[in-house]
Copies of this chain bind each other. A is one copy, B any other.
């Protein structure tokens, strides 16, 4: 139950495109530089986002990437579906039979409802955050998400220790 690197970095690349110029494509090199990633890795992630239908691209001089629809209409859920697949695959039970031919818990599994609840909670939460909002900065996002804004952030707390 880890956040994948490509979910983090892929989302960051997508945010760069969303935040880029609206009249022309944004080049991979600019995106990579802005996020401190290698050009090659950014290219890989951007390609994945293109294949997933969130971006379009053009090659050649003044080529680059742009969004297929307005940033306000792309949810974080959409992005993570493309970048990391689902938390709980539809075939999860079929994929975890252990050594049996089908999962022995199939008929009465107390765990399954819990995974499903998590999945639906994540969907609920992330479907309602769009990538335009994420570009508005940390304080805006904290406020938007109903989180405490100042000292008690986990990150700041760590920084204070040192």
Contacts and interface: CB of A to CB of B under 8 A. Distances in A.
Interface of A: 1-5, 7-9, 11-12, 15, 34-38, 41, 76, 80, 84-90, 92-93, 96-100, 103-105, 108-118, 121-122, 125-126, 129, 133-138, 140-142, 145, 147, 153-155, 158
Contacts of A99: 36-38
Nearest to A135: B110
Given A104-B35, A125-B117, A154-B116, A140 B4 contact: no
A9 B96 contact: yes
Contacts of A154: 90, 116
A121 B135 CA distance: 22
A114 B87 contact: no
6 contacts: A3-B92, A36-B104, A90-B154, A110-B140, A113-B147, A116-B155
A141 B117 CA distance: 11
Contacts of A7: 1
A147 B126 CA distance: 20
A129 to B, nearest CB: 6
A60 B34 CA distance: 60
A122 to B, nearest CB: 7
B122 A35 contact: no
A133 B110 contact: yes
The 5 closest A-B pairs by CB, nearest first: A36-B100, A36-B98, A110-B134, A37-B98, A113-B141
A7 B89 CA distance: 14
